[in-house]
Structure 1
Amino acid sequence: MNCNLNKYKHLVKRLICTAFMGLGVYGVVIGQNNAQANFLDTTTVDEKYREDQFYVSVTYNLLGRKPQGVSQNGFSGGFHVGFIRDMPINKARNLAFGLGLGISTNSYNQTLLISKETSTYQYSLLNNNDTPFNKNKFSAYAIELPFEFRWRTSNPTDYNFWRIYTGFKVSYRFYTASKFKGEAGNIELTNISDFNDFQYGLMTSIGYSNINIHFYYALNDIFKESATVNNEHIAMNAIKIGLIYYIL
């Protein structure tokens, strides 16, 4: 079973890497085609243009509402890639709705140890003085469904413009894992049932040209009510800050 899960995990990583590379190639090709089109015929204007329909994002992941004694260590990162259908709602096409589909992977390095006894998950606080460890993290792979309201200063011939995109995102976690490596041994768990399958939260992207600042704040907890430490529910939520790259 562990062998199959590891193969599944590696397959997901390969799919995400392939998607990143594919979008990068797509962006280069689109940029070359746009430049060539502008060079050959500067009089052609697409009055029905759409903007920013592919995205790639890298985020630094924070944990909000941490229980007392839980802290983050090391780098906790997220990678997101997907497609958003741009749907302009005014004649100038600088106001639009966006509805998308994407995939993401997120990891959190922290001091909350997840272990398992029979069919029950156990949670405890790590202290490097008492339990020396090299790594302790949990991670998740998810399908993302973003919905945005989009304002921008775009026009049919200008590909560099200001934008403010704000909205809501729902995610479905289809794979979760935790990993501990220390002097006491190694603990690896997968498909942890105490994780909430669905996550939802608010997001916004602000910036100029292709690369923009991205912020996400989850409105619900990472863990279900069954996850407790020191008789306290682990009510942590995800906060993500990073950069998002848009491609036509």
Structure 2
Amino acid sequence: MRIIFSCLFLLTFFSSFAQEEVKPEVKPVIKIDSLYREDQFYFSVTYNMFTDIPIDFKQNKFSLGLSGGFLRDMPVNKSRTVAIAAGLGLSYQNYNQNLTISRDGQGAIIYGVNNSSEFVSNRYRQYSIDLPIEFRWRNSTYESTKFWRIYGGVKLSYIFSSTSLLDDGENNYKINNNKDINKFQYGPYLAAGYNTWNVYLYYGLSPLFNSATTLSGEKINMKTLNAGLIFYIL
């Protein structure tokens, strides 16, 4: 009987030990997509300026620009560090300056360059649809969303709404969708930086006003220049 009880005890011990044995955890295999794309939403904040300005032209206050949209990324090399991207966006541009736009007694639009003391306020704003097309370089990998980038390209824009506002102290002039404004705008741009923060520069190649627009007999050949920051969000 003693031998039988000893055998039962040993069987119970080994059975309990076997039940308490911890089995290794089987972790699921995570498949990393090496065919990633840098499809991104973008948002920019800029200070707006003009080039090829008339004599005595000056800007005053802060001229703000805002834009946002989406870019579709199309890598062209195996490591996916070089790509082409195209997108669609919207822009708002505001300019505070001393190029005044008003009307004469017959309702015709006239242009002038005045000292800031000669008017209370004067500004021009526009809204446009943008089509950016860019060539991209970055040192990104499929394991990290933080990387250095240099993106350069061309932006095509269509101004679908524009307004100039002038208060000369005696009269208020509001001119919507001025026929002298070139609705189609284009120019190169450059964006460079690390992760979310990037510097941005755009230079307009097309004049803001059409070729028939003159100031004191001289053609107004002003072009836009925007400098600021652009943010990319996955």
Task: Say yes or no: TM over 0.5.
Answer: yes
Q: Are residue 121 (structure 1) and residue 87 (structure 2) matched?
A: no
Whichever residue aligns with residue 53 of structure 2, its letter is K
Shift of residue 108 of structure 1? Answer: 0.8
State the match for 1:6 in structure 2.
Answer: none
SS at match of 1:78: strand
Shift of residue 120 of structure 1? Answer: 2.8
| Structure with the larger helix share | 1
Shift of residue 46 of structure 1? Answer: 1.5
CA distance in 2, matches of 1:184, 1:42: 75
1:100-119 equivalences in 2 (<5 Å): 100-117=87-104, 118=106
Shift of residue 121 of structure 1? Answer: 1.5
CA contact (8 A) 1:165 1:206 kept: yes
CA contact (8 A) 1:154 1:162 kept: yes
Q: TM-score, normalised by structure 2?
A: 0.85
| Larger CA deviation: 113-122 vs 85-94 | 113-122
Q: Are residue 94 (structure 1) and residue 94 (structure 2) matched?
A: no
CA contact (8 A) 2:102 2:166 kept: no
CA distance in 1, matches of 2:174, 2:167: 9
CA contact (8 A) 2:50 2:225 kept: yes
After superposition, the C-alpha distances for 1:15-53 in whole angstroms (9 at most, x for unaligned) are xxxxxxxxxxxxxxxxxxxxxxxxx98943121111152
State the number of aligned residues.
Answer: 207
Whichever residue aligns with residue 247 of structure 1, its letter is I
State the match for 1:247 in structure 2.
Answer: 233
Q: 1:127 to 1:42 in 2, by over 3 A?
A: farther
CA distance in 2, matches of 1:41, 1:125: 71
Q: TM-score, normalised by structure 1?
A: 0.80
Identity %: 43
CA contact (8 A) 1:195 1:224 kept: yes
Task: Identify unmatched segments of 5+ residues in structure 1.
Answer: 1-39
Shift of residue 116 of structure 1? Answer: 2.4
Whichever residue aligns with residue 147 of structure 2, its letter is F
Whichever residue aligns with residue 61 of structure 2, its letter is G
SS at match of 1:226: coil
Q: Cα RMSD over matched residues?
A: 1.6
Task: Identify unmatched segments of 5+ residues in structure 2.
Answer: 1-26
